[in-house]
Chain A
Amino acid sequence: MEEVKPQLLKITFDGIEVEVEPGTTIMQAARKIAEADDSQGHLVPPAMCYYKPLPVSGGKCRACLVRVSAGSAKDPRPMPKLVPSCITQVQDGMVVENTTNPAVLDTRKSIVEFLLINHPLDCPICDQAGECHLQDFAFEHGSVKTRYEEERRTFDKIDIGPHVQLHMTRCILCYRCVYTADQITEGRVHGVMNRGDASEISTYIEKAIDNDFSGNVIDVCPVGALTDKTFRFKNRVWFTKPEDAHRDCDKCCGKVTLWYRGDEVIRVTARKNTWGEVNDFICNTCRFEKKQTSDWVLDGPTKVKRSSVISANKYRKDLVAKPDFALKLAATQFKPIDDSRPYTTDEETIRHQSIENNDKANHRSLLANNN
């Protein structure tokens, strides 16, 4: 029998039409647009809690809220509230507004503010800095100042298992690690305790997660709340060099990314896709114990998104050699704003503002240091 192909649904996302299969979420449709055309990457709603490999994740952080201005071709009424794009399935004829709707951008700005009011902002000493989703999110959508004057909530650091440290103060309660732990263990060993802004990720009375795949909670964590104890304070991620590698592992797929400092492997993680999501979970043996190049077969340098700070030192060797590297890098990254253009993207606007208004002092000090 011939296989019946499902009817494709046509939706309009920020004015771009795309055809997707039934059951696709708005977020996946947006990612499809970006994967087809690299220049449309900024259209994809940010995801702080949604994680495609974890089927029940999503809908919590509200960072990806979008306006549905027409529900479907059959029922073209707009949806009354903003909807989370990561869990809302598309309907045929749906019209979605993301970056084209000021209310969506305004809400997103407030979500950054909400996520940051209890965040310690200790990026200078945080191992996640440079590959932190919250950093990216705040840079792209946040405002420069905070309106929060009160004390922030704090927690003590907890060791969960021999390899993982939990720094709850930084947590944004995305529940990704909880769902990961649910997937890899039989019983419930890792969950959320307490309520409201006092809630915390916990393994209940500091019990260790004893599982071969427990290290994956580090990879899924969007912030620096769960960190690799073998890597803590070893290096800034943007000074390390990622290389894809594999080995014959009897527990997992064995496909990893090795993070080098010089010739030394200082960290092993799973491979991640464009959206920062792990392709295949890896076991603790690969992650924590195999830290020699001789353990691995190298597959070549990892492809890193152009916008990532991790790529900064690796792919611009011509600039690194010169003393005024930072300024030159900045000059290539910060495009001058052309006022005659009718439309600027938000990223450009924010960069423009930050240069014009807030970072003048920084630029001056940078100049002084380089001269």
Chain B
Amino acid sequence: MARKILTEHINVPGIETFDVYRKQGGYTAVEKAIKTMTPEEVVEEAKKSGVRGRGGAGFPMGMKWGFLAKPEGVPRYLVCNADESEPGTFKDHHLMKCIPHLLIEGMIISSFALGANKSFIYVRGELMYVIRILEKAIAEAKAQGFLGKNILGSGYDLELVVQPGGGAYICGEETALLESLEGKRGNPRNKPPFPAVKGLYQSPTVVNNVESISNMPWIINNGGDAYATIGIGRSTGTKLISASGHIQKPGVYEIELGVSVEEFLNSDEYCGGVRKGHYLKALVAGGSSVPILPANLITKTAAGEDRLMTYESLSDGGFATGTMLGSGGFIVFDETACIVRNTWNFSRFYHHESCGQCSPCREGTGWMEKVLHRIEHGHGSMHDIDLLVDISKKIEGNTICPLGDAAAWPVASAIRHFRDEFVWHITHPQEATQPGAVYMGEMALV
């Protein structure tokens, strides 16, 4: 069995209550950190662990903490990004629902490390029942003296606030999240200044993902060096993967980074293989935003090496032949899935979720969606394919926030790897618009 850090006790009955969580060794990390360590030492442990942001970008968390400006007399804030809305990603939801105290413990340690006296958990508005679970857990922790004034007699105060979001994907972008938290319209801010300098209420702020913060109790208990021994190279620790699509056992799995994609896909411990009687066609490895890969590039890189579930291995070959680990939304497509329809579906999502602030994303996402709708419904023409590639190129990199890139990559990669299928939709509109019709020709090779 692989080592588990986050989900070790997740199946213990009653783990969502304080008493059971405490019996499983919960809150010992808080005691250790607050009683025996200085905030600098906690930050040092996070740096040593090499844990990378689990929200998608994969930026080292300790380094992010190190960037936090510390001017005198200005409050600092820690904000936990629990606005998980990426299609295909549902790990934070699972974690918060099943074991809320893990996040709260991580929040206390991280807030202590950063010197924040007020911290926020910004939860996606649709998850109202999770918000109630979290609030109940916070009340329990407060009653036991782990939150509030003078935690464990150390003189350190911390207030933890759970804030429901309004239900916009864009509010998962860190600066849009801060705007929303301030009560404004959730528009991403221009960067610089980065949140580490001017974040929430113009004060230095760190925004971290639920899963990143939930790693902190283990790191404090066992040391950053021990965490760094798990995984391969710069991809340290474990990662929650939300597996969905045409597989035997969809669900949330905790893997040690470095497991091969083939093992994750086919082993009975994890996905259990593609559903019976079908074969793999394509795979999205890190949530809908990352480039889609065809079957021949999933298990082996273009250079012929085994592809592993790490940040580096998945992005091997750049976007030409690689993808990204992203937030770990592992979506599997078998041969019955229509890539054009799927790309249109993704594109429709980004069109709907674009905030409308900057012109390339506001207009470009809608345009791509309309062109894809046309192709999918049998009204496309050949120049539409190049048009889509061109629009995606013009959006990518020219927007305020990464939503523009996230909208452009799936379209560009689908055309890169499955151009035949797009062509077939255009040349055979009659067949392509039949219900359930899928292009069964030879899979597109690189």
Residues of chain A at the chain B interface (Cβ within 8 Å): 58-63, 65, 81-82, 84, 87, 107, 110-111, 113-115, 117-118, 147-148, 150, 172-173, 175, 191-192, 194-199
A–B Cβ pairs within 8 angstroms, 5 of them: A60-B358, A60-B359, A87-B190, A173-B359, A199-B362
**B234 CB to nearest A CB, Å:** 20
Q: How far is the CA of A196 from the CA of B365 in the complex (A)?
A: 9
Question: What is the interface size of chain B, counting residues whose CB is below 8 A from a CB of the partner?
Answer: 29
Interface centre among B363, B364, B387 (most CB of A within 10 A): B363
Across the interface, which residues of A come within 8 angstroms of B364, CB to CB?
A: 114
Whether the Cβ atoms of B387 and A147 lie closer than 8 Å is yes
Residues of chain B at the chain A interface (Cβ within 8 Å): 168, 170, 185, 190, 351-360, 362-367, 370-371, 374, 387, 394, 397-400
Q: How far is the CA of A301 from the CA of B30 in the complex (A)?
A: 74
Whether the Cβ atoms of A195 and B190 lie closer than 8 Å is no
Q: How far is the CA of A173 from the CA of B366 in the complex (A)?
A: 15
Q: How far is the CA of A196 from the CA of B361 in the complex (A)?
A: 8
Whether the Cβ atoms of A191 and B185 lie closer than 8 Å is yes
- With contacts A196-B362, A197-B351 taken as known, whether A110 is within 8 angstroms of B394 at the C-beta atoms is yes
Whether the Cβ atoms of A197 and B363 lie closer than 8 Å is yes
Across the interface, which residues of A come within 8 angstroms of B354, CB to CB?
A: 195-197
Across the interface, which residues of A come within 8 angstroms of B366, CB to CB?
A: 118, 196-197
- Tally inter-chain residue pairs, CB-CB below 8 A: 88
Q: How far is the CA of A173 from the CA of B360 in the complex (A)?
A: 12
Whether the Cβ atoms of A192 and B185 lie closer than 8 Å is yes
Interface centre among B356, B370, B397, B399 (most CB of A within 10 A): B356
12 additional A-B residue pairs with CB within 8 Å, beyond A59-B358, A60-B400, A114-B363: A59-B190, A81-B397, A84-B190, A111-B359, A114-B364, A114-B394, A173-B359, A175-B357, A196-B356, A197-B354, A197-B365, A199-B362
Across the interface, which residues of A come within 8 angstroms of B394, CB to CB?
A: 107, 110, 113-114
A-B pairs, 7 with minimum CB distance? A199-B356, A110-B394, A196-B354, A114-B363, A59-B190, A150-B370, A197-B366
The residue on B at minimum CB distance from A148 is B367
**A9 CB to nearest B CB, Å:** 17
Across the interface, which residues of B come within 8 angstroms of A118, CB to CB?
A: 363, 366
Across the interface, which residues of B come within 8 angstroms of A60, CB to CB?
A: 357-359, 400
Q: How far is the CA of A65 from the CA of B367 in the complex (A)?
A: 21
**B404 CB to nearest A CB, Å:** 10
Whether the Cβ atoms of A198 and B356 lie closer than 8 Å is yes
Q: How far is the CA of A84 from the CA of B358 in the complex (A)?
A: 11
**A203 CB to nearest B CB, Å:** 15
Across the interface, which residues of A come within 8 angstroms of B374, CB to CB?
A: 150
**A120 CB to nearest B CB, Å:** 14
Across the interface, which residues of A come within 8 angstroms of B370, CB to CB?
A: 150
